Structure 1
Amino acid sequence: MVGLRRVRRSLVEHLTVLDASFLEAEDSDPHVSLAIGAISVMEGPLPDEDALASALRKRMLTIPRCRQMLRTYPFDVGAPEWVEDANLDLAHHLRRAAVAEPGDDHALFRLVGYIMERRLDRDHPMWECWVIEGLADNQWAILIKLHHCMADGIAAMQVISAMSDDGGGDTFASQIRAATEPDRARIALPRLTLDPLAWIQGAWHASNAVANVSARAIDVAVGVVRGVVRPAAASSFIGSVNTMRRYSAARVSLDDVTQVCHAYDVTINDVALAAITDSYRAALIRRGEQPKPNSVRTLVPVSVRSNDAVGQAHNLVSAMLVYLPVDEADPVKRLTIVHTRLSKAKGSGQRQAASLIATGADYLPFAVSARVVRALARLPQRSVVTVTTNVPGARQPVRVLGRKVLRVLPIAPIALQVRIGIAISSYASDLSFGITADYDTAPDVDQLAEGIESGLAHLVASSKRPPRSSVGTEG
C-alpha cells in the first residue's frame, strides 16, 4: 500500500484537478490505461545494460517527477500529492523486450500496442523505460512511457528528451501560440487553505480578473457543453473500448508540409488535420459507411504552456472541438474547411473557456471536483469521436549514448469511449503521426496510417499546380 511505504516528505506538491482527472478517468473504466509516451528508433549497436542503466539513472532521475510517487487521501479529503520515493529501485522502471522476426515496423508496432495497454503501477513512480531490441537493419529502440497525470505532451517530450546526450536541444515548442502570446484568460484563483485570511485575500485579488472574463467564458462554455452532448453521426468509430490496443505510425516530410503551408497560406496543424481527415474519410468508405458532415468530431488539446512554464511537469492544456470535413471529396477544399474551422475555434474563446473551467475547478474542495470528474467520466458520450494532439519535438537530430536517433514516434492514449487517438510530433525533418486504437475497432490501423501519408501526398500534388493561392473561407 502507498500509505505504508516509507516516503521522504519535503516540499509537498498537490496534483491539480486536471492532473488528477486522468487518474479518475482511468479508474472509471477498467479497459483503459492513460499512459502517454514515444518511441525513439536508433541506429545500432545496442549499448550494454550497465551503460543504459547508468544513463537512465543520471538523466531520467534528475527529473523530480521520475523520482516521485503518489500519496492519496481516503475519501478524497485532499488532492493527491507528489512525494519522493525513498525506496526507488530502477529495476521497477527499466524493462527489456525483443520484437518478433523479421523485426520490421509491424512487429515493433504490435509490441508497442501490448506495452501501452498495460497500466502503470501506482505504488511506484509512474513511468517505464523499455529497451527494445531485434529491429531490422541493426536498429534498436527506447520506449518511454509515463502516466498522463504526470505531464502533458510537451512536458512528456521534455522528459523523453532528457535521455538524449544533449538533453534534447532546441525544440519546436517555442513556436506554439501560448509560448509567444500572453494567456489573458488564465486567472490565479486562490487555492483552498486552512488560513481564512489568506483565502479571503486571494479571493479579493482574483475577483476583478474573474469579472473581466467570466461572462464571455461562461457563454462559450455553455456552447461547448451543448456541442458535447450533441452526438456525432453513427459510425464504427463510436462505441466502447476493450483492453487490447493496436498501434501504427505514419511519417511525412516537414518540407512537404511546409510547401503546402506556403502554397495555401495555412499552418502545419491545418495540413496535418487535413491529411488525417483524408484518412478518416477513406476509412469510412472502406468500411462501407457514408461520410457525413458530423461523422468525425475531434478533440484538439491546445497547450497553454508559456516559455516561462517550460520546467513545469504537470498538465498545462486546454482544448477545442472541431468537426473534420470527411464529407468533402476534394483535398484542397478539405484543407480550406479545416483551416476555417480551426481559425473559428481559436477565435471563439473555446481555449480560454476550457482553461478557465480547469482553473476554477482547482478552487473547489478536491472531494467535490473529484466526484464531479468521476461522474462525468462514467457518462456515455457519443460526440467526441477521436483525439488529435500535436507535440513539438527536437529541431535537430539527437543522440543517445552516441547513437543517432533516426525517428521519434509519439503515442497517445484512448479513453472515455474514444476508440482512436492520433498524436503528431515533429522531429528534425519529419512529421510523425502515432495512431493508438482499440484492437477490435481498428484492424485497419495500418491503413489509417497509410491514409495520412496519401492525404498529404494529395495536397503536395495540388500545391505544385497553382503558383500560389490563399485558402478561402468555408462556404
Structure 2
Amino acid sequence: MITRLTPQDAEFYRLESSSNPIHIGSLAIVRCTDAGDGAGPPILNYDRLVDLVESRLPLVPRYRRRVREIPLSLGRPVWVEDSRFDITYHIRSSALPDPGTDEQLHDLVARLASYPLDQSRPLWEMHLIEGLSEGRCAIFTKSHSALVDGDTALEIGHVILDTGPSPRELADDAWIAPREPSDVELLVGALAHLAAQPRKAWEVARDASAGAFAVIGTAGRAVDSVVSAVRTVATGAPDSPLNTRTSRNRRFDVVRTDLEDYRTIRGRFNCSINDAILAVVTGALRNWLLSRGEALTESTTLRAVVPMSVYVEGSDGDQLKPEAEVSSFLIDLPVGEPNPVMRLSHIAHATEFNGRQRRGIRARTLVHLAGFAPASLHAMSVRAASTFAEHTFNLVITNAPGPQTPMFIGGARMLEMYPVSPLLRNQASSIGITSYDGRVFYGLNADRDAMADIDVLAAAVRDSMEEMLGACV
C-alpha cells in the first residue's frame, strides 16, 4: 500500500536534523516481577514484549511502513510497506547495572533520545530497560512526529496498554512483507498524480526552480485550525537562557506530584487544573532563573507555547478525561511575579481569554480508544507548537491527561508514565506533563550543554508546588 505523506507529515519529516531529532518519546515504568525485591519470576521480558507489540501492529499499520522519496522531488514523499520489516530491529533490550537507580535510567533515556531514528526503516524504536531496582523495568518508546497524527495514525503506546493484567486477544495478523515499488514506479505514480492535478504540478515546478522542496498545498492551511486564532499575538519572545543553539546531546529528569494537590489548588482559587499546573511550572521556572542569577522584575515573563488537551472531570469527580480536541496557544508566564496567588491569577485570566478564541485539532479517535494513553496527544501538541515562528516563544509545555485507573503492559502493571518531548530549534528545554492513576508526572527534556542544571528545575517544581499549597491555607 502506497500513501502520500500529508503536507504536515512531510514538513515534520523535513524538519529533523542531527541536533534536533523530531521524535516523541514516552517512558513507562512497570512492575516486572511480583516480588518487590525483584527476586520473583518476570511478568514481562523481551520475548513477551516482542510478541505483544507484534500482535498489536495491525492497530497501527503505519509502524510497518517507511518513507520513500519521490525521484526528482516530484511531489511529497510516500509511505510504503517495508519489505524487510524486522520487529527485532525496532524493539531493543538494555540493562542497567544491578540494582539500577532512577538516575541511571534517566541518563540512559537522555542518550537514547539524543540520536535520530533510522530514516531507511519505519520511524520508531522501543527499548525494554531491565535491571531497575525494586523489581521494576522501563519501556522507552520513540516515534517520529511524522508518524503520529493522533487520528488516523496513533502512537504505539495506545495499543500495548490494557485495562487489566490479561492482555486482550486480537485476530491473527496475516501480514506478509510485500514487494516495494521501484523508483521508476514511484516516479510514474507521481507524474500521473501531477497530470491529474495541473495546479500542483505548477507548484512543484515553481518550488524546484527555487531550489527548495516546499510542502505542497501549504502546510499552513493544514494546521490553520490549531493556531490561526493566535497568530496575531505572535510577537518576539523575551530574551531567555532557554533559547540558544543546541547540541545533539540531552539530559532528562522527572518529577512526580499528586493530582489531589492540583485539585486542592483548583478548589481554593476557583481555577482549572490546567491553570494550577501552569502556575506550578511558572513558579519553578522563576526559581530556576533566580538560581542562575537572572535579574527579574515584576513584569518579567517567559512566553510558552501551551498545546494541551483540556482536562474534564467525569461525573464521579475522580476521572479525568480529555476533550475531543487539542488546542494550542501562546501564554506569557509571569515568572517575575513573587506572589504565587498573583501568578495563578494572571495565568487563569490568560487561559480564559485564549479559551474563548481557541480552535483545536480534533482528537475523537484518542478519546474513544480503549486503553487510552496520552503519547498521541503529546505528538499532536508538538505538531501544533512547531507551527509557531521560532523566535516567538521561549519553551514548549505539553500537557495531556492519561487514564486514572491502573493500566498494564503484557500483564505488568504500569506504575509511572513520562512524556519525553523533543526540543524544537534553539529550544534548550521542553516540559511534558501527563496525569496517570492519581498522579501528575513531569518529563523534563533538555540540551546537555545549555541546561546542565536540569536537576535544579526538577527540584524547583517540587518547591513551587509546596509554595502553591502553602498559599491554599
Q: TM-score normalised by the shorter chain: which range applies? A: 0.7 to 0.9
Q: Please state if 1:24 is matched with 2:14.
A: yes
Q: Distance in 1 between matches of 2:153 and 2:435?
A: 14
Please say if residues 165 and 413 of structure 2, whose CA atoms lie closer than 8 Å, have aligned partners that are also in contact: no
Q: Please state if 1:232 is matched with 2:243.
A: no
Please say if residues 168 and 394 of structure 1, whose CA atoms lie closer than 8 Å, have aligned partners that are also in contact: no
Residue equivalent to 1:415 = 424
Q: TM-score, normalised by structure 1?
A: 0.72
Q: Which deviates further from its counterpart, 47-56 or 283-292?
A: 47-56
Q: Please state if 1:402 is matched with 2:399.
A: no
Match of 1:437 among 433, 441, 446: 446
Shift of 1:160: 0.5
Shift of 1:462: 2.0
Please say if residues 157 and 391 of structure 1, whose CA atoms lie closer than 8 Å, have aligned partners that are also in contact: no
Please say if residues 231 and 381 of structure 1, whose CA atoms lie closer than 8 Å, have aligned partners that are also in contact: no
Shift of 1:54: 1.1
Please say if residues 154 and 392 of structure 1, whose CA atoms lie closer than 8 Å, have aligned partners that are also in contact: no
Shift of 1:320: 1.1
Residue equivalent to 1:128 = 125
Cα distance, 1:454–1:60 mapped onto 2, change above 3 Å: farther
Please say if residues 421 and 445 of structure 2, whose CA atoms lie closer than 8 Å, have aligned partners that are also in contact: yes
Shift of 1:273: 0.9
Shift of 1:238: 1.8
Shift of 1:195: 4.4
Q: Distance in 1 between matches of 2:413 and 2:16?
A: 35
Q: Please state if 1:296 is matched with 2:284.
A: no
Q: Please state if 1:141 is matched with 2:131.
A: no
Match of 2:161 among 153, 164, 183: 164
Cα displacement string for residues 118-148 of structure 1 (whole angstroms, at most 9, x for unaligned residues): 1001111111110001111121111111111
Q: Distance in 1 between matches of 2:260 and 2:398?
A: 20
Q: Please state if 1:284 is matched with 2:293.
A: no
Shift of 1:49: 2.9
Cα distance, 1:256–1:303 mapped onto 2, change above 3 Å: closer
Cα displacement string for residues 334-391 of structure 1 (whole angstroms, at most 9, x for unaligned residues): 1111111122223245x46x99xxxxxxxxxxxxxxxxxxxxx9x9944311100112
- SS of the residue corresponding to residue 162 of structure 1 reads helix
Q: Distance in 2 between matches of 1:450 and 1:301?
A: 24
Shift of 1:453: 2.2
Alignment of 1:161-310 (within 5 A): 161-166=158-163, 195=196, 221=228, 224=231, 227-228=234-235, 230-233=236-239, 235-292=240-297, 293-302=299-308
Shift of 1:290: 1.7
Shift of 1:62: 3.6
Cα distance, 1:198–1:415 mapped onto 2, change above 3 Å: closer
Alignment of 1:455-474 (within 5 A): 455-463=464-472, 465=473
Please say if residues 23 and 149 of structure 1, whose CA atoms lie closer than 8 Å, have aligned partners that are also in contact: yes
Cα distance, 1:273–1:380 mapped onto 2, change above 3 Å: closer
Cα distance, 1:152–1:436 mapped onto 2, change above 3 Å: farther
Please say if residues 409 and 433 of structure 1, whose CA atoms lie closer than 8 Å, have aligned partners that are also in contact: yes
Structure 1 segments unaligned to the other structure (5+ residues): 1-9, 170-191, 200-213, 305-315, 356-376, 466-475
Alignment of 1:311-350 (within 5 A): 319-349=328-358
Q: Distance in 1 between matches of 2:281 and 2:22?
A: 23
Shift of 1:451: 1.5
Q: Distance in 1 between matches of 2:197 and 2:248?
A: 46
Cα distance, 1:154–1:434 mapped onto 2, change above 3 Å: farther
Q: Distance in 1 between matches of 2:68 and 2:452?
A: 39
- SS of the residue corresponding to residue 345 of structure 2 reads helix
Q: Please state if 1:34 is matched with 2:50.
A: no
Shift of 1:280: 0.6
- In the alignment of these two chains, the number of paired residues is 377
Please say if residues 24 and 145 of structure 2, whose CA atoms lie closer than 8 Å, have aligned partners that are also in contact: yes
- SS of the residue corresponding to residue 134 of structure 2 reads coil
Cα displacement string for residues 20-64 of structure 1 (whole angstroms, at most 9, x for unaligned residues): 22222214xx31111112111111234343222211211245411
Residue equivalent to 1:113 = 110
Cα distance, 1:458–1:154 mapped onto 2, change above 3 Å: farther
Q: Distance in 1 between matches of 2:430 and 2:117?
A: 19
- RMSD between aligned residues: 3.2
Cα displacement string for residues 422-475 of structure 1 (whole angstroms, at most 9, x for unaligned residues): 111111111111110000111221221222222222222322x2xxxxxxxxxx
Q: Percent identity?
A: 28
Shift of 1:73: 1.8
Q: Distance in 1 between matches of 2:304 and 2:84?
A: 42
Cα displacement string for residues 233-252 of structure 1 (whole angstroms, at most 9, x for unaligned residues): 2x322211111000011111
Please say if residues 271 and 456 of structure 1, whose CA atoms lie closer than 8 Å, have aligned partners that are also in contact: no
Please say if residues 243 and 394 of structure 2, whose CA atoms lie closer than 8 Å, have aligned partners that are also in contact: yes
Paired residue type of 2:303:
R
Q: Distance in 2 between matches of 1:165 and 1:134?
A: 23
Paired residue type of 2:255:
A
Cα distance, 1:167–1:146 mapped onto 2, change above 3 Å: farther
Paired residue type of 2:460:
G
Q: Please state if 1:65 is matched with 2:62.
A: yes
Q: TM-score, normalised by structure 2?
A: 0.72
Shift of 1:194: 5.0
Q: Distance in 2 between matches of 1:243 and 1:123?
A: 20
- SS of the residue corresponding to residue 147 of structure 2 reads coil
Shift of 1:404: 1.1
Q: Distance in 2 between matches of 1:157 and 1:269?
A: 24
More helix by share: 1
